[in-house]
A and B are shown apart, each in its own frame.
Chain A
Amino acid sequence: MVDYPKSDTGRAPVSQKRQVISPGNNGADGSAQVALTIDGQQVNVPVGTTILEAAKQVGIHIPTLCAHHDLCVAGVCRVCVVEVEGMRTLQASCAYPVSQPMNIQTHTRKVRQARRHIIDLMLSHHYGECYACGRNNNCELQALAKEYGVDFFRFGHPEKPEHEIDNSSHSVVRDMNKCVLCRRCVRTCIDLQEVGALEAINRGDKTRIATFMDQPLASVVCINCGQCINRCPTGALRANDPTDEVWAAIDDPTKHVVIQTAPAPRAAIGECFGLPPGRALTFEMNTALRVCGFDRVFDTNFTADLTILEEGTELLLRLQKALKETSGPVALPQFTSCSPGWIKYLEHFYPEYIPNVSTAKSPQQMFGAITKTYYAKLHGIDPKDIVTVALMPCSAKKFECNRPEMVDSGFKDVDYGLTTRELAKMIQEAGIDLPNMQPSDFDEPFGTATGSGVIFGATGGVMEAALRTVIELVVGVKVENLFEHADIIPVRGMDGIRCVELKIPSVGPVPDILKPLFESWEFLNGATLKVAIAHGTANAHKVMEDIKNGGPMSQFHFIEFMGCPGGCIGGGGQPIPTSLEIRQARAKAIYGEDSSSKIRKSHENPHVLKFYKEFLTEGPCGHLSHKLLHTHYTPRGKFITP
């Protein structure tokens, strides 16, 4: 068995890793139990369970603020304190793993007083008015204040802001006036994502969260993933919101406003309307978008299918070079390019591997480029009057569409990136009851997509889509013959790193569309295709280190990287809160949509084939395709000069 990198979080500061509560050593098999009395109720829990978890089991809710399921324990806000018999001080229940019988009281006078004081202390530094805040009604600080009946500011309330808002980034806006120093963002950035753009600086009451040398966020190694936004309990972090500009474009009669919608938001937007996670509202949303005033509603999955053809062809070309021609080195494994968070991570931390990244643009950017060329021509619309909006689960997509090179149509290919949260706000503002909209279809010519496009939204989806296509094009047999229902189960799931090896049993004839590039598939006959999937940049980091050190993954052929844990369904623009369960529910909705799609393979999308026939006549990776659908990357490095 080859020793592939493990997918637990790695570079977290030692201190924080240690504070992940693990079962104690009293029962190596995890069977040792401790008897607790919580508010007079008896409960037995495994050694190492936190008081917080144990209390939940007996139906007692202890308030928390700095604790988060996805993150290491911090124990810093102290709102979760409880009284333990025999202990002089109160204990933070989120950070206390039990190992001995204890008698715990969760709401004594001391506890209530402490919690109220702590909330009051936070509010005494919190500048912001709820009714003018993006987190109104979805804010953990606000909820705590309500829970504890805060009706006046015991220790005062700031009347002016203390910090300047950092608006520098296309993706993340930091308003430290609303920060309560829970440090979830710090733990997210360094531990979950292993980027480390944020850290606490200074001491005492001067403590605040800052970037390296206090530079604007746009100038540091932030990869724009927005994972910190999703975990911030308050409105201190938010995405850079272009809804005003989008409304203005809609209101402007000279503008033709088209919106492309990615798969992940559909599976999540219902959460903003009170639905449980995992209910896709794809077709209801189409209607809502038209009611909002968008002129056309397109499916990003169309360009996802296009991406598969371009990226898959690119992979085959690299493999041909590596396996057949012996001339010169080939950059393998090939890395996927559709996650802009991952791309910026690579540009900062592994710029020497830029040649490995597929030059194919992400589906969002392909869409912009063909809308302002092919679509404009098809409908006789002057591309300067087209405004392209992208509905994405992602904050990094905002940065991506503002990359200076993304103007291959002669215009800014994608004008605005909207997140799921921002679109929900627009729909609410328009008074639309989204869950109860009549379903309607996407608009042509970019309305037909396949199940392969849909699963781009979940980790492993791009890989599965690529494999479905590559296998069929190369082997010449139906994927269904190899994988039941064309579900390539081994690449699915939520493990941080997944590795799969596929032997190519035999090869078929080269299909017409690829004839300009390949004479035969003989070079692949009997080869074993090694692929991997990593999601969340902490896992990407592990894979990259393995490759860099010449480990087993350096021998791989194709690796899918997603910047966010869970892939796009866990993107930084998705509804708040997030947790593994929520991400799993969204993924389930995505795979459900794939499963019920009529066409499930990118190369069978009739509109994509038509598009090649009519427009990109040289086929995948041809000239025009290179101009419009491929791009280049910027080595950035870690050392940022102010």
Chain B
Amino acid sequence: MIAPKNRGPMSYDTVKAEAGLTAALAKTPAEVVATLTESGLKGRGGAGFPTGLKWKFAAESQGQDKYVICNADEGEPGTFKDRFLLTDYAGLVMDGMTAGGWAIGAKHGIIYLRGEYTYMCAHLEALLQARRDKQLLGKNVGGHQGFDFDIEIRMGSGAYVCGEETALIESLEGQRGEPRNRPPFPVDTGFMDKPSIVNNVETFAYVACILVKGADWFKKTGTAKSTGLKIFSVSGDCERPGVYEFPMGITVADLLSAVGGSDAKAVQIGGASGYCAPAAEFNRTIAYEDIATGGSIIVFGQNRDMLKVAKNFLEFFVEESCGQCTPCRDGNPKLLEGVELLEKGRCSTKYLSELCSLGETMQLASKCGLGQTSANAFLSIVKHFGPDVMARTPHCAGHRKS
């Protein structure tokens, strides 16, 4: 098992596994939802949808069978926090999921585990069995008559897009992993057409903490719109890459100094689909209202070629687009071709600006979050690193492509 090199102190260390579930069952389902709403917790998987509201919708949805799905597909380049959480704090994640079952009235929980994390299966299964033995899963959970809830593990097969919640559901149903149209949303028409909540691993873990420590504990850190703490996976050109918990609203500069990356040229916040912040913007904050992230921080040192960075990310998206909708399927390859022209010094400024407006189209018109964000890195790099992007000399003389 690969442990991250460095880890900061975590609030999870202060909460015992199973305590989260005990705390949840001490409340009514409506109180659980109210506590989460009160805490201001927003989804930690990237999109940042208020967790309390999502659970409220699912709780209000009609229907007997409902599902609690833990999104452990962790496919964003530069993200490894969920792996770490499932290794060290899986009990809290399971607490959070069971609390979800209690809150929305679901009987089934599913952990959708990234294919590459198959090695974790035995460890997780053992934990689940231990919980069943203690009646924390199964019939009458925690002694509550009529509350049945169990969790199964289902494996992903390596497609990044299957981390998108509706593609994840398609994949669970045995279909091609392709995002669905919405509305309808999963809270009302999810797995097998039943109301479902899909939440990130970290979200469930914080749910457990909040239920134990209270909404106020969570709210007192972070900003008004982005309450609480967040786990970050930090990699790249810094002295102490690893997994850290920081308050929401931390500035990029503060984060960099904590990990020993203060002389960075740029920081990619939010993985391949995120935003590439130049040094001039290091005073910005990491929060839903400023630069949002699912937790991936990639630090680029002074010697990094930013055009290469853009190229690397675009290669990823060309490969990982599900191929369903035109802007993403055909747009990403065009941006990549553009980068290749730029590398050769053969892209006119006119064509580059056409590509930037294509990037805007992709952000606006793609069907799912993948296509809506895949141009982000390219656009921010073109905007902030002009010299890296435009200062190539053609390998050989010839007319430029217009």
Contact = CB atoms under 8 A, between A and B. Distances in A.
A203 B322 contact: yes
B323 A118 contact: no
B332 interface: yes
B398 interface: no
Interface in B333-367: 333-334, 354, 357-358, 360-361, 363-367
A205 interface: yes
Nearest to A65: B326
Nearest to B355: A155
B318 interface: yes
Interface stretch (B11-19, B80-88, B172-180, B204-212): B172-180
Given A89-B365, A113-B361, A114-B361, A78 B183 contact: no
B181 A205 contact: no
Interface in A195-247: 199-200, 202-207
Contact of A89 (B178, B184, B189, B363): B363
B372 A121 contact: no
B321 interface: yes
A267 interface: no
Given A14-B173, A15-B178, A204-B319, A114 B367 contact: no
B175 A110 contact: no
Nearest to B365: A114
A347 B331 CA distance: 43
A154 interface: yes
A175 B321 CA distance: 24
Interface range, B side:
35 or more
A156 to B, nearest CB: 8
Contact of A78 (B176, B184, B365): B365
A95 interface: yes
Contact of A125 (B193, B330, B361, B372): B330
B245 interface: no
B324 interface: yes
A73 interface: yes
A19 B170 CA distance: 13
Contacts of B334: 121, 124, 155
A101 to B, nearest CB: 15
Contacts of A154: 354
Given A15-B170, A19-B180, A204-B319, A89 B327 contact: no
Contacts of B192: 14
B326 A90 contact: no
A203 B193 contact: no
A289 interface: no
Contact of A122 (B317, B330, B333): B330
B364 A89 contact: yes
B44 interface: no
A365 interface: no
A387 B357 CA distance: 59
Interface in A97-144: 97, 99, 110, 113-114, 117-118, 121-122, 124-125
A81 B327 CA distance: 11
Kindly name the residue among B176, B320, B323 whose own CB sees the greatest number of chain A CB atoms within 10 A.
Answer: B323
Nearest to B161: A203
B316 to A, nearest CB: 10
B325 A121 contact: no
Given A113-B360, A154-B354, A118 B329 contact: no
Contact of B327 (A95, A114, A203, A206): A114
A166 B12 CA distance: 59
Contact of A92 (B173, B175, B181, B322): B181
Given A18-B180, A18-B193, A203-B320, A118 B364 contact: no
A5 to B, nearest CB: 21
A517 interface: no
A204 B329 contact: yes
Given A18-B180, A18-B193, A155-B334, A81 B322 contact: no
B21 interface: no
A122 B330 CA distance: 8
B326 A89 contact: no
A90 B334 CA distance: 21
Nearest to B371: A78
Contacts of B323: 181, 200, 202-207
A117 B327 contact: yes
Given A14-B175, A204-B321, A117 B361 contact: yes
B358 A117 contact: yes
A13 B169 CA distance: 13
A76 B324 contact: yes
Contacts of A18: 180, 184, 189, 193
Interface in A79-94: 79, 81, 89-90, 92
A366 interface: no
A96 interface: yes
Contacts of A110: 360, 364
B29 to A, nearest CB: 22
B321 A203 contact: yes
B159 interface: yes
A398 B333 CA distance: 40
A418 interface: no
Interface string B150-184: 00000000010100000000100101101011011
Contacts of B367: 75-76, 78, 92
A553 interface: no
Nearest to B336: A205
Contacts of B331: 117, 121
A18 B319 CA distance: 28
Given A15-B173, A205-B332, A95 B365 contact: no
Contacts of B332: 204-205
A125 B317 CA distance: 18
A439 to B, nearest CB: 48
Contacts of A81: 364-365
A125 to B, nearest CB: 6
A78 B325 contact: yes
B229 to A, nearest CB: 26
A77 interface: yes
Given A76-B326, A78-B367, A125-B330, A14 B183 contact: no
Kindly name the residue among B159, B170, B317, B326 whose own CB sees the greatest number of chain A CB atoms within 10 A.
Answer: B326
B327 A13 contact: no
A203 B175 contact: no
B217 to A, nearest CB: 32
B159 A203 contact: yes
Interface in A552-596: none
Given A90-B365, A113-B360, A122-B330, A76 B183 contact: no
A135 B321 CA distance: 30
A124 B330 contact: yes
A78 B327 contact: yes
Nearest to B183: A97
Contact of A118 (B173, B176, B361): B361
A481 to B, nearest CB: 51
A114 B321 contact: no
A113 B357 contact: yes
B152 to A, nearest CB: 19
Kindly name the residue among B180, B357, B358, B364 whose own CB sees the greatest number of chain A CB atoms within 10 A.
Answer: B364
Interface string A11-37: 001110011000000000000000000
Which 4 A/B pairs are nearest by Cβ-Cβ distance? A207-B323, A121-B330, A95-B181, A114-B365
Given A117-B331, A117-B365, 15 more contacts: A18-B180, A73-B181, A78-B366, A81-B364, A92-B367, A114-B327, A124-B330, A124-B334, A200-B176, A203-B323, A204-B318, A204-B323, A204-B332, A204-B333, A207-B322
22 contacts: A13-B175, A14-B173, A15-B173, A18-B184, A18-B189, A76-B326, A79-B326, A89-B363, A99-B183, A113-B357, A113-B361, A118-B327, A124-B334, A125-B330, A154-B354, A200-B176, A203-B320, A203-B322, A204-B317, A205-B321, A207-B323, A207-B324
Interface of A: 13-15, 18-19, 73, 75-79, 81, 89-90, 92, 95-97, 99, 110, 113-114, 117-118, 121-122, 124-125, 154-155, 180-181, 199-200, 202-207
